[in-house]
Each structure stands twice: as C-alpha cells, then as structure tokens.
Structure 1
Amino acid sequence: MRVVIVDDSPSAIQALSSMLSSLTGCEVVGFHDSAVALHWCLDNAVDLVLVDYNMPAPNGLQFIQRLRAHRQRVDTLVVMVTACDQREIRHQALRLGATDFLSKPVDEAEFLARIRNLLKLHQSHLALSDRAQWLSQEVQKATSTLLEREREAILILSRAAEFRDPETAHHLVRMASYCRMIAIGCGLGQDEVDLIHTAAPMHDIGKIGIPDHILLKPGRLTPHEEELMRRHPTFGADILAGSSAPLIRMAASIARSHHERYDGSGYPDGLAGTAIPLAGRIAALADVFDALTSERPYKKAWPLEQARDYIVAERGRHFDPDCVDAFLARWPEVERTAARYRNDNEERDVPTIMLAETRTFLFGGATP
C-alpha cells in the first residue's frame, strides 16, 4: 500500500515515516511542498495521504478539496494530522472529504492502530470493487450470449420464410441494410438502430402461413388471393407475439406494420402517420424500394433511379417524409449496398447465403 505524507516540517515527515515502517507492505513517500505533493498524488496511484493543516498554499484543507475534485481520487484515504486544535478546522476537513483526523503530537499506538484499520478497510473496498467489476463483466457476457441466441432465432425463422418465398436470399441483407441507414438518418440511438436492423429480416415471417399456390403464383393474384396474402402481417405478428425479448418484440412490430401506409390506406390496421410504429415506417420504405429494384417471376427489376423517383413521388402518401429524406440523404450507401448484394451474383443455396452473408453482415454490425 502506498502512503504519502505531506508536511512542511521534515522532522514530522521523518517521525511519521518511522512509525509506518513497522507496517508490512507499506511504501512511504514524503513531501514538504504541498503543491508538488498534490501534483504527484494526481499523477500516481495512492492509497492513503497524511496531510498537515498549517502549510504554505495549498494548506491542508485546500489540498483535500483539490484532491477530492479529481474523480480518480474520490476513494483515496485522507487523514489530516495537525497540531491545530480548532474544532471548526476539524469539521471543515471532514466536510471536504477527510477520512479521519489526528492531532499532534501523535500517539504512536493510536496512530498505527488507526492507519492499520484504515488500510485494511481500503483493501476490502478495493477487493469488493474488483469483484463488482468482475460480476459486471460476467453479466455483460451472459447478456451478450442471450442476445446472440435471440439473433440465432431471428436467423432461423428468417431462413424458414425465405425457403417458401420466391424472393432472393440477398433481399434480407439489402432490406435490413436500408433499414439501418434510415434509422440512423432519423436520429435514433445506436441500440434502437441495431434492434431495427437485426429484426428487419423477420418482416415477412407471416408468409409461412400463406398457401403455396398463392405465395408462389407467377402472375397477378385474384382479389380473393390478394385478401389472403394481406393476412401475412398478422400471421407474422402472431408467430412472434408474447416474447419479453426486445429483439423479438421489435420483429413482431415490424412484421405487423410494414405494409401500413403513411396516408392510412395500408393494411392490416389502416394506421396513418405517426400512429404507425417508426420501425414499421422504416421497414415499409426499405422493403418497397428493394422489391422495386429486384427481379421477380412476374416483373423486371427497376433501375435504382426509377425506384428513387417512385419513393419521392410517394413521400407523404405511402412513405413517412422523414424516412424518405433520411434514405435519400444516404443515397451513395444505397447504391453501394445494391451493387454489393446483387441477385445475379449470388448462389441459389439459400442456407449458405443466409449463414455466410446475413449472419456476418446483419449480426456483426458491419456497414457496407
């Protein structure tokens, strides 16, 4: 343990050092200049400071006040050792953060007993702090493990939907990436951005409940088939309902609301404006843009610029104006993502694509 003695009397420093020499494992550093001592204590690890009151500036009270003002020294033990017997000085020293107060001339037995007890308490405090830090790290590890399990569940369910949907494996990567861009542009915090980005691939999980003859139909759907297809948002929300995990709850919200329209003409709930969850408004724009720019059995892919013009035309009708503005502000990123995850450059092995690309990109926090 390191003990610093601050006293303008060399003989006082010598006397206290001699007493402390009987304590095992105690390193003593003495200063007769309080200004130099203060600077040294702020730059070096110190367990205990013994400081006199009557000294050239800073005096003992000023020394304690300045030492305690440093956030890394709020737990350092400080004992004022002085011949001053004014009760007000004692009280003021304690108010400023002194741990204890000893009067000169020092009784050696009392001095050693108090210092020994203070150092033992300090060691216990340090041990508890280390234990608390270790526990905090263990909790953080456990939380990370749980979050990874949630992400694995998202991955598996997303793959399940992808097996039945004619859309490409890279659709989920692009769509989730666009969601991240929009969420960042809307000013959301990093945690919220990550939640939306990770949950976005679940937007169409409800298509698991749509019959194959409708889901895989290459041509236009009949009004009856369209009505059945429009049930997939509620199917998705029902599949994901009841979880207490923030990630699954976010996925359920996106699944239900990503076909709502800003003007209220969407489905399944006909919500309008800010009544639509923000994550749903973000996903709606990302999903439609990627659908427009992707080839389907029943249509050709639109050029990026044509899809951008459509998004602008639907600003305030289909799409939240703020989401559109956030998306367009990051247009170079949009172009890079579309180019990096092109459908004609991918293999058709959906599990390989989802495990290799989606898990690394979506869940690794990378930015294209």
Structure 2
Amino acid sequence: MDDLRLKLLDRMWQRWMQPRFERMPDREAAHTWTIQQLKLLQERRLLPFVRLLCQGPENNRPLLVGGATLKNPFVLPAGFDKHCEVLAALDALGVGAAVGGTIVPAAQPGNDGQRVFIYPHIRGAGNRYGFNSVGEHRASVNAAACELARIRASIGYSVGPNKDTPKDAKHVAADCLSAMRAFRALYRPGKDFFEINISSPNTAGLRDLFDEIEELLGRIREGSRSLFGQHVLLWLKIPPDGMTDAALMRIMSAMHLAQFSCLVSGNTTADTKLKATYGITDPGGVSGQPLFELANDVLARVAAFNSDGVDIVAVGGITRPPDVAAKRLIGWPHVRAFGVYTGLIFEGPSLIRRSLRAWERAA
C-alpha cells in the first residue's frame, strides 16, 4: 500500500505538477504558484488528504536534533516558505522540520531583476533573492494562521538582518533579536528553534560577520534569555565557501560558548571557480548537485572538529536518495538530520519519503 501511494504521488507530480513548472519561463513565478497551491490546500482543509497520500511509517521517527524533537530527520530549509505561509501544508507533506524565512524586522523587496535560475541538466538552481520579506510582524501573523498547535513537525524560524542594517555584530544581533521577539508567543519549547542566517551570498557584507562570530552569537544568546526568560534553541547556518580549518574551529568554539545547539552546514555557494566549471554565469548563489562535493568536504571537516558534540544538519547538493546516505556516513556520528530543497524541484514530494528510507538504510 505504501509503495502504491508513492507511485501515485510520482504520477501526479510527473503528469500535472512538473509540466506546469516547466511551462513557466519565470522561475520565481513557479515558486510563488507553488506556495499559493499549498496555501489553498490549507484554507480548504484538504491537508488530511495530503497527509494520507504523502506520509508513511518513515515520516514518524521522532528524534532529538539540536535540542528540538523533530518528527523525522528531513528538514526543509529556509528559502521555500519565506513568509511562513504554508507551515501546516509542509507538515502534511511529511517533513520533520520546516524552516520559515529568512525573516527580517522590516519588510523589504530583496534584489531587483531576475532572481531564480534553474539548471536541469546539472540538477542545480541559482538564486539572488536577497532576503525578500514581508517583515517580522506579517510573517508572525502568517505563522499563527497555520494553527501551530496542530502541527507535529518542528518549526524553525530563520532570522537575519535587513539590507540597510550595518553589518556588524551589534546591529545584526539586534535585527535577529527583533525578529525573534515577533515569534515569542508562537515558540514551542523543546520543539521549535531559531536559525541565525549569516550564510546567504546575496546580501552584501553578511558573510563578513563570521569575523565577529563570538560577539554576534554571544549577543544573540544573551538577548534571547532576556526576551524569552528561558533557554531558547539556537541554530547557526554556515556556507561552504571560505571555510578554512581555522574558520571552522573558531565557529565551533563560538557556538559552544554561546550554547548554540545545532550547526546547519553547507547550504549555498557563490564560488566563482565552481560556477565556471558548470558554465554558470548568472549572479547569486548556487545549490543542488554542483554543490555536493564542496558541501561534503566542509561537512567532513566540521564533523572532525566537533569535539563538543554539537548536532549537525547536513545540507548542500542532495538531489537523490543516495546523497542522503552519503551525508550520513561522511558526518557520522554528529550528523543527526539532513536538509533538502533544490532536490524537490526535480524529484517532487516523494523525495521526502525516499530520502528518509535511504537515511534509515545508512544507519
């Protein structure tokens, strides 16, 4: 019965959804359309049908990752549900955790011009969104409308600074804390988390904050204690670019000192040599298969330097189930979960269950 449902899901994807995407020359419009369809499923109370079609036994394997009890180890990273509009639908699809955002304090449009690029021949994607956001207030209203009490998946809130915020530890920490404050009433202790995003290549000066990592993480930890009156689960996302051994050891030490509980490793590259290897001339960051080897190199070194036992979510280049098994083996024993976004563009929602099966087989 489970295999029949997977085959039906694949057939629906291949016959109806994928051709629709391919006919849309504007890739950002395809992203927007997908969010609209998921939102429609929420509003029309059709999520029980989605859950029946998309979920199986492997979707219900609770585990502790970075202090949060996830429904399963599949994490949908930030960047898909940018405005926290379809968290309930993502839960119905069967993810273990869904990360909304990145959320910034004030609404901003992001970068101008074409912002999404798809490279089917190499199973890759590019984007230069630049933290387009409805702002912290609207995003929190959207999240509340998803009826979080009914959601079994963990929810992560990716937070970052506005474009015009000075890119130093003091000001960026203040922006992150402002966005966190907006979600204070929605945060579910032991289940949800906040992810600090200073890894995007599409906001000028953002990645330079790794030069002030101790101060930044320390300010956010202290500020979160004041805001919430309790220990809040904090995760950090890092890029695969420019990560020397010294830089990685410094990051791991800073996380330990500031009591950050999870590292999300290797999400998007802006490496010009790597992009040139694949003939990519579009601006912005690249994800998907071209990123796989670079992200794996960083993952292996992060795991080797992880003397404090920080949990790791492995991301970067997962487009097929065997990629999940590779990530688990490379980062063993610290890799507790994995993140997939670009792979869903090419494989559809059945990739969630197929990836979870591959994860279990690699144990």
Q: Which has the higher helix share?
A: 1
Question: Highest CA radius of gyration, 1 or 2?
Answer: 1
Which structure shows the bigger proportion of residues in strand conformation? 2
TM norm structure 2: 0.30
Tell me the TM-score normalized by structure 1.
0.29
Identify which of structures 1 and 2 has the higher relative contact order when contacts are C-alpha pairs closer than 8 Å and 6+ apart. 2
